[in-house]
Amino acid sequence: MAIKVASMTRWQKQAWLFAAVAALIAVLSIEGLYRTAAVVRMEYLYTDLWHRFAQVRVEPAHTALVMLDDPTLNERPDEPLAFWTPHFAQAAATLRQAGARLVVIDFLFSGSPERWIKQLGLMGKDASRNYDQPFRQEINQGGVLLAGFRVGEGDSIDDFVLPSPDYLLALPELDLTGHVGLANLRSDSDGAVRRFAMTEAGQFARSESLPHLAFAPLAAVRATQQQITAEQWVFGKRTLDLVQELPIAFAGPPGTFHPLSFRKLLAADALSDPDVKALAGKVVIIGAGYAGMNDVHPTPYSTSLGGANTLMTGPEIQANIAETLLSGRFVEPLSASWRVALFLAVLGALALVCMRLPPWRAVIVVIFAAQVAIVFGYLLFKRDIIVPVAHLQLGMVLVLAFLSLWRLTREERERNRLGTVFGRYVSPQLMEALQSSSELPELGGQISTVTVLFSDIRNFTTMSEKLTAREVVEMLNTYFARACEVLQAEGAIIDKFIGDAIMAEFGAPLAQPDHALRAVRASVALRAVAVDFQRWMSDRFAGRDLPAFDIGIGLHSGEVVMGNIGSPTHMEYTAIGDTVNVASRLEGKTKETGCHILASQATIGFAGGSVRVGQVHQLDVKGRHEPVPACEVLGFNS
């Protein structure tokens, strides 16, 4: 009894040690995947779903949205949008008088109406000089932020699309960096916009005094009166640098910002409108929201899992970024230390629990833990903390896989014992079948009804005379590899190779009711392999004047004895009996009859009516007094 207790204790120590090692390996694996972002799209599935579940998370308090919409355009149907700068000037003036903190215009004014007027001679000279004067005056007051774009790597001036020089010259002190932001939006590998950085340009733009801050971050820096040319900025409790990327803390799905129609700013009584008054003290982003405009983007609210076609306009994304910074509400991924601690705690506990459970219960526990992780991740997301749930679940699967491996090693001794008994006698395929079977065949012999297949290479002797020994081996190995693949696909046991011939059985050592049909399918597939292999022979041994590669296949179904044949020192588990002899003889008759596949009437009967046959032969077979009826197999009926 003492020995038994000591043995159990040693096993328990090994089990707990393996559980700890399994948890540690899983943690290291998923942490490596997290750092390399190899499976980041798995995380997007959860965070995007949580965004849609949460719906409106906060009401924007620092940023507002004004959209140039269809009702506004319909009021002035004959005015091309390129000539709307006086209306933008009026809107900016209205917002300034209403007490807006900053006016941010998300339009690219790359062309000047005055230049078009002058070029086309549409109006007098005064118009070509003064048409944009109100807009330039608003720009010059410093309360308007304009948009530009980086279209290349940002290494030269040609990589930037900026507002017209007429407007740049109107900027206070010609300060491009403080009044022009780059409106590029960063998209992830799936095309969705989820994150932002303070800058959208590199060192070249800074050294040349070109715009380098991103559009919405520049608005936030201006609104909080921080230094434009600084290396870091403070928003809420966060200090941000130029290159740091952050998740956008979306206020909610598209429409959360309740955009104000641009036409309300153009009304005569705009300053008395409560909606306009409500813009006091806010950063106001003016953007396009009319039908046909292309500034719409996928976000967490519009990815494929339940949110198709819910795109968000560029201006509203800019508003969300600005609101993120001005509110100081950041969506925080777990820090590295907390993340690793979470991985260790959860996976370590899971490994210890599952080690003590039967395999099926361990699977249930892992499934349950994965669901708990989803709920836990969503609850923390509601508090603006992102937990890498997908990585945690992947770690759970790894722990389960490692524990399954441990259990398999415990069972390996039984498999090794089985291998000791049968390993010298049977093929690897048969060994695998025996190990997976709940019942072992009788070593002395077991009667089974099977279909036996023989296949032989035609003109092999002639080929062997024209090839070297190494080339013959190469040819046989290449062909046998392809042939065995199609045979095993139909559940055949590769009994043996006899020179250039293959012997296989269907229906043993484990019973297969459709063994004949499997054998016929395998023979048709084997014939296709031979046809394809002729091309390999032609390429490999071009110019060697070899006969065409071809094979003959014989099939016969009936009873055989499956057992151990041989001497006490060397035995082979194989099939013997008249069925084997007939199958071999039928294969030998294929050349004589001009058929590629000959199947006995017994095999055709077992296979059913789906087999399409050709010539029917009454074949004299050595060892048989009566002819054997056999059919040429052509394929299957459609």
392-404 pLDDT per residue, tens: 999 999 998 888 8
Structure token digits, residue 23: 């948890």
Lowest-confidence pick of 118-127, 298-307, 375-384, 481-490: 118-127
Other CB atoms within a 10 A radius of the CB of residue 467 amount to 16
Q: Are residues 457 and 601 in the same domain?
A: yes
User: How many angstroms separate the most distant Cα atoms in the chain?
Assistant: 119
Looking at the structure of the chain, the number of domains it has is: 3
Query: What local confidence, expressed as pLDDT, does residue 347 receive?
Result: 92
Whether 415 is in a domain gets the answer no
**Does the pLDDT of residue 360 top 50, yes or no?**
yes
Task: Evaluate if residue 381 carries a pLDDT over 50.
Answer: yes
pLDDT value at 585 more than 60: yes
Q: What is the pLDDT of residues 462-501, one digit of tens each?
A: 999 999 999 999 999 999 999 998 998 888 888 888 999 9
Question: Is there a domain that residue 110 lies in?
Answer: yes
Kindly state whether residues 243 and 107 are assigned to the same domain: yes
The verdict on 266 and 299 lying in the same domain is yes
| Averaged confidence pLDDT in the chain | 86
User: Are residue 79 and residue 156 in the same domain, yes or no?
Assistant: yes
Domain carrying residue 439 = 428-636
Residue 502 lies in a domain: yes
Domain match, 145 and 97 both: yes
HEC states along 382-417? CCCEECCHHHHHHHHHHHHHHHHHHHHHHHHHHHHH
Average pLDDT over residues 321-331: 94
176 and 36 fall within a common domain: no
Q: Which of 209-213, 246-250, 348-352, 606-610 has the highest mean pLDDT?
A: 246-250
Claim to verify: residue 347 and residue 316 sit in the same structural domain:
no
363 and 486 housed in the same domain: no
Query: pLDDT-derived band of residue 2, with 50, 70 and 90 as boundaries?
Result: very low
**Is the residue at 207 inside a domain?**
yes
Average pLDDT over residues 74-92: 89
- What does the pLDDT average to over 318-335? 93
Query: Which of 327, 356, 381 is the endpoint of a domain?
Result: 327
Domain end residue (candidates: 295, 327, 359): 327
Asked if residue 351 belongs to a domain, the reply is: yes
Flag whether 416 is in a domain: no
User: Within this chain, do residues 323 and 336 fall inside the same structural domain, yes or no?
Assistant: no
Look at residue 13 in the predicted model and tell me its pLDDT. Answer: 72
Contact of 519 with 492, CB cutoff 8 Å: yes
CA-to-CA dists, residue 2 to 9, 20, 475, angstroms: 11, 27, 62
Strand 195-197 relative to strand 245-247, pairing: antiparallel
Residue 130 lies in a domain: yes
Same domain, 119 and 248: yes
pLDDT higher than threshold 90 for residue 555: yes
Last residue of a domain, one of 303, 327, 351: 327
pLDDT of residue 124: 55
Residue 306 or residue 581, greater confidence: 581
C-alpha distances (whole Å) from 19 to each of 353, 357, 360, 398 are 9, 12, 17, 11
Same domain for 605 and 522, yes or no, is yes
> pLDDT tens digit string along 9-65?
455 677 778 888 888 999 999 999 898 888 888 899 899 999 998 889 999 999 999
Cα angle 367-373-376, degrees, rounded to a multiple of 5: 145
In the prediction, which pLDDT does 285 show?
96
Whether 102 has a pLDDT exceeding 90, the answer reads yes
Domain annotation covers residue 481: yes
CATH number at residue 539: 3.30.70.1230
Chain-centre distance for alpha carbon 539: 38
Backbone angles phi, psi at 234, to 5 degrees: -110, 125
The verdict on 432 and 520 lying in the same domain is yes
pTM for this predicted structure? 0.62
pLDDT number for residue 128: 58
